Amino acid sequence: MDALLSNVDWVEIGWASWDTLVMVGLSLLFSVLIGLPIGVLLFLTGKRQLLEQPVAYAILSFVVNVLRSVPFIILLIVMIPFTVMLIGTSLGVAGAIPPLVAGGAPFFARLVETSLREVDRGIIEATQAMGATVRQIIFGALLPEALPGIIAGITVTAITLVSYAAMSGVIGGGGLGDLAIRFGYQRFQTDVMVITVALLVIFVQVLQMLGDRLVLYFSRK
């Protein structure tokens, strides 16, 4: 067993796992904080919605599409100057977070928009008929009704961020991806590669399970 995993430094693996956890956790938090209002705005300004604004929608939608169509590996590199300006470094756990958020937030915003569109128009109409303000419609009806969909969106975003976070190892981002590239790839330590990939798989599995449970808990349909 020891011979089979001779290159594996478990303490190193532990720290790398923790780094990945922190990167995914923080970037998920910021992706949700930024993506949720953008998603709500995308929905509200869309065609035949409460605050229909074709120009605003077009601009917002364009920005989101640009960020989503740039391959993440390119985004990582393009973001470096901006990240240095924002954080002071483009390396390590902290340096990986801005590009992760730049990739995660627009992705999550689209998922929010989609789940809001799933809310029955009749519910919006009924809430309007009660004399609700737009703010009350959003917070009292739309978001609670879309909650299961939004939670599912958070799960999908979290899992995407796990793979993005691993990818950020290419530019020295830290975490399991960094480990896999420095040891598993550049030093041909296959056992390290296998362990990191296995840990990532477990990580994704746990996230999906957790997300599914939460969706189930909040679904009243």
Partner 1 sequence: MIVFDQVQKSYQVGDRAIPALHPTDMRIDAGEVFGIVGHSGAGKSTLVRLINLLERPTGGRILVDGEDITRYNPQELRAFRRKVGMIFQHFNLLSSKTVADNIAFPMKLAGVYGKTEIRDRVEELLARVGLTDHAHKFPSQLSGGQKQRVGIARALACRPSILLCDEATSALDPQTTQSVLKLLADINRELGLTVVLITHEMDVVRRVCDRVAVMDAGRVVELGPVSEVFLHPQHPTTRDFVFESENIDHRELQQDLQKTEGRILRLTFKGEATYQPLLGSVARTSGVDFSILSGRIDHIKDTPYGQLTLSLVGGDLAAAMREFEAADVHVEVLR
Q: Which residues bind partner 1 (CB under 8 A)?
A: 120, 122-123, 125-133, 136, 140-141, 144-145, 147, 218, 220-221
The interaxial angle of helices 143-167 and 92-117, nearest 10 deg, is 150
Q: Name which of 15 and 218 has its Cβ closer to partner 1.
A: 218
Q: Name which of 115 and 196 has its Cβ closer to partner 1.
A: 115
What residues have CB less than 8 Å from 106, skipping those under 6 apart?
A: 35, 38, 63, 64, 65, 67, 68
Contact 147, 218 (CB under 8 A): yes
Q: How far is the CB of 145 from partner 1 (least distance, A)?
A: 5
Q: How far is the CB of 126 from partner 1 (least distance, A)?
A: 4
Q: Name which of 92 and 144 has its Cβ closer to partner 1.
A: 144
Q: How far is the CB of 140 from partner 1 (least distance, A)?
A: 6
* Cα torsion angle, 33, 174, 204, 185, sign: positive
Q: Name which of 12 and 125 has its Cβ closer to partner 1.
A: 125
* Cα torsion angle, 130, 136, 137, 143, sign: negative
